[in-house]
Amino acid sequence: MKKIVSFLLLFVVGISNAQQLNCTVQINSDKVATTNAQLFRNLEIAITEFVNKTDWTGETLKQHEKINCSMVIIINSYSETNFSASIQVQSTRPVFKSTYASPVFNFNDNDFNFKYTEFENLLFNPATFDSNLVSVLSFYSYMILGFDADTFALKSGTSWFEVAQQILSVAQQGGYKGWSQADGNQNRFFLVTDILSGTFDAYRETLYLYHREGLDTMATDLKGGKNKIFQSIDKIAEIYSVRPNAFLTRTFFDAKSDEIVSILSGGPIVSISEVVDKLNKISPINSSKWASIKL
């Protein structure tokens, strides 16, 4: 009951003018034949306004402090108000003393079915299930907030992950795919359940070590920062030793594989052969990328 009350209070805060996300939304309807292209344009506008104008946390941020993210929604089919789609969610965070934005979260969700009536208002109420569209968008908004917070302070995203978990719990009553452990082992249920599980504390420690102690220090201590990146890969390897095919390990490398190649291929020169061997072991799906690293 206390959690429900706190979420309701958060929702009341959400009617203020503070927003935390700077999200680019794209609707791709190339797969469907339609004479009403404006429908998808209006859906894109509605989602953009919902994600960017909802106050998710109660914090007032300046424009440059907001989290840059994107949601690409591919419509596979639709009939009247019923839509079948996928959604690709990505977020980045700035790196200290640089113009570089580091990818933090990159996830593709193929179970995104929802109802939408043109021009309907999208409103977030964490205590009730009103629509799968609102629930999915809200869930990923809080996951973005949680991942971002974890990169700046150790496990500081917990409160936002817990809100996402509450959204999941409420949304399960809607009967849509992606919210239940019965829907597969790489969906919304496992994304938030695993991130809050002590079994995967090393993953969250990796987020902090990699970004705050690694990337953020490279402007002043390039070699030291690079070594912290190595240590963060060791943390991911800890997960591999317990759960070789862990879902969160895959999500980490979905976001980070290209960046890791760039970091390991650049100066200063340090011994990286052991790190590359470890990467090949814990993420063999990216072996072609690891092969391009200059040893």
- Pair 163, 251 in one domain: no
Does residue 195 register a pLDDT over 90?
A: yes
Which tokens go with 80?
């009247």
Does residue 108 register a pLDDT over 60?
A: yes
CA nearest to 170, candidates 134, 208, 116: 134
- Pair 163, 55 in one domain: yes
* Kind of pairing between the strands at 82-94 and 101-115: antiparallel
Does residue 3 register a pLDDT over 80?
A: no
**What confidence tier does 14 reach under pLDDT thresholds 50, 70, 90?**
very low
Amino acid at position 46, single letter: A
Examine the fold and report which residue of 156, 172, 188 is the final residue of a domain before the chain moves on.
172
* Kind of pairing between the strands at 67-79 and 101-115: unpaired
- Pair 139, 273 in one domain: no
- Pair 221, 280 in one domain: yes
pLDDT at residue 18 in the model: 65
Residue 143 belongs to a domain: yes
- Distances, alpha carbon 34 to alpha carbons 38, 78, 127, 181, in Å: 10, 9, 35, 35
Please state the φ and ψ torsions of residue 81, each to the nearest 5 degrees. -110, 5
Lowest mean pLDDT among 14-18, 55-59, 238-242: 14-18
Residue 34 CB burial class (10 angstroms; 0-12, 13-18, ≥19):
exposed
pLDDT at residue 202 in the model: 96
Lowest mean pLDDT among 11-25, 186-200, 246-260: 11-25
Residue 49 belongs to a domain: yes
Report the number of distinct structural domains present in the chain: 2
Does residue 42 register a pLDDT over 90?
A: yes
- Pair 150, 25 in one domain: yes
- Pair 50, 164 in one domain: yes
- Is the distance from CB of 286 to CB of 253 less than 8 angstroms? yes
- Pair 53, 163 in one domain: yes
- Pair 154, 8 in one domain: yes
Which tokens go with 86?
């996928």
- H helix runs in 81-157, sequence order: 132-152
Residue 186 belongs to a domain: no
CA nearest to 151, candidates 91, 227, 241, 194: 91
Residue 236 belongs to a domain: yes
pLDDT at residue 13 in the model: 39
Average pLDDT over residues 80-102: 96
31 or 35: whose pLDDT is higher? 31
- Pair 123, 210 in one domain: no
pTM over 0.75: yes
CA nearest to 133, candidates 44, 218, 258: 44
Rounded mean pLDDT of the chain? 91
**What confidence tier does 167 reach under pLDDT thresholds 50, 70, 90?**
very high
- Please give the sequence-ordered ranges of beta strands (E in DSSP) within the chain, or none if there are none: 21-28, 67-79, 82-94, 101-115
- Pair 86, 166 in one domain: yes
Residues 6+ apart with CB under 8 A from 125: 11
Examine the fold and report which residue of 154, 172, 190 is the final residue of a domain before the chain moves on.
172
Residue 50 CB burial class (10 angstroms; 0-12, 13-18, ≥19):
buried
Which residues, in sequence order, are bridge partners of residue 91?
A: 69, 105
3-class SS shares of the chain: helix, strand, coil, % to 5: 55, 15, 30
Residue 11 belongs to a domain: yes
pLDDT at residue 165 in the model: 97
- Is the distance from CB of 81 to CB of 154 less than 8 angstroms? no
Residue 19 belongs to a domain: yes
- Pair 54, 166 in one domain: yes
- Pair 153, 230 in one domain: no
Does residue 174 register a pLDDT over 70?
A: yes
CA nearest to 234, candidates 270, 203, 212: 203
Residue 247 belongs to a domain: yes
pLDDT at residue 7 in the model: 42
Lowest mean pLDDT among 15-29, 84-98, 150-164, 182-196: 15-29
How many CA atoms does the CB half-sphere of 5 hold within 13 Å? 2
**What confidence tier does 220 reach under pLDDT thresholds 50, 70, 90?**
very high
Residue 189 belongs to a domain: no
Which tokens go with 17?
């003018």
- Is the distance from CB of 53 to CB of 61 less than 8 angstroms? no
**Structural domain harbouring 51:** 2-172
Does residue 50 register a pLDDT over 90?
A: yes
Average pLDDT over residues 98-122: 96
